[in-house]
A and B are shown apart, each in its own frame.
Chain A
Amino acid sequence: RKEVEQDPGPFNVPEGATVAFNCTYSNSASQSFFWYRQDCRKEPKLLMSVYSSGNEDGRFTAQLNRASQYISLLIRDSKLSDSATYLCVVLSGGYQKVTFGIGTKLQVIP
């Protein structure tokens, strides 16, 4: 089993739709969780951190489920500009263990 697993997609959704991605992790001792966004042929950029209590930033909501060992990202009212690959990142053992998922590709269609 991979340490961090994501459905690579692509997820093709119409503008205005709500879409959700999950990311599962295998190390129950993992400490910190993040979602990054990566546009085609660009560097990843931090989208949001994922806290135990959940985290909301505008149309984006991130949640952590430690019992089932997954994090989720919900995007409401999808925009064309949301089209990108969303990377799940899990930190374990402090700075020594940074694991990226392969990313989930989202394509928002007009």
Chain B
Amino acid sequence: NAGVTQTPKFRVLKTGQSMTLLCAQDMNHEYMYWYRQDPGMGLRLIHYSVGEGTTAKGEVPDGYNVSRLKKQNFLLGLESAAPSQTSVYFCASSPNYEQYFGPGTRLTVT
């Protein structure tokens, strides 16, 4: 039982490049979330999903897209990376209100 896993762990992008972050959970949770964490800002919700095939915007969705084609996977895409998207990205899954986080992806955009 791996819990929540994230791929990749680290990535450096150039401005304008695109990439997809993968989150996978093996706990059969309905709810999944993508956050970013920046110094002095705390965790901020980017997008979330309440079930397979559904997604919704969180607090800071601009510049990101998501998809949840399978219940266990939640993908976060950056179509055209900007330096302002340099951050640590955490994925979480939840059976109800308690959230279980993945280990994070450290992304640097130069």
Contacts and interface: CB of A to CB of B under 8 A. Distances in A.
Interface of A: 4, 8, 32, 34, 42-46, 49, 87, 91, 95-96, 98, 100-103
B42 A49 contact: no
23 contacts: A32-B97, A44-B43, A44-B90, A44-B101, A45-B101, A46-B100, A49-B98, A87-B42, A87-B43, A91-B97, A95-B48, A95-B50, A96-B48, A96-B56, A98-B48, A98-B58, A98-B99, A100-B35, A100-B42, A100-B44, A101-B42, A102-B42, A103-B42
Nearest to B35: A100
Given A91-B97, A95-B48, A98-B33, A43 B90 contact: yes
B61 interface: no
Q: Which applies to chain A's interface (DSSP): helix, strand, loop or mixed?
A: strand
Interface residues of B, dominant DSSP: strand
Interface in B3-58: 31, 33, 35, 40-45, 48, 50, 56, 58
Given A34-B97, A98-B33, A98-B58, 18 more contacts: A34-B98, A43-B102, A43-B103, A44-B43, A44-B99, A44-B101, A45-B101, A46-B98, A46-B100, A49-B98, A87-B42, A95-B48, A96-B48, A98-B48, A100-B42, A100-B43, A100-B44, A101-B42
A95 B31 contact: yes
A44 B91 CA distance: 11
B21 to A, nearest CB: 14
B6 to A, nearest CB: 9
B42 A42 contact: no
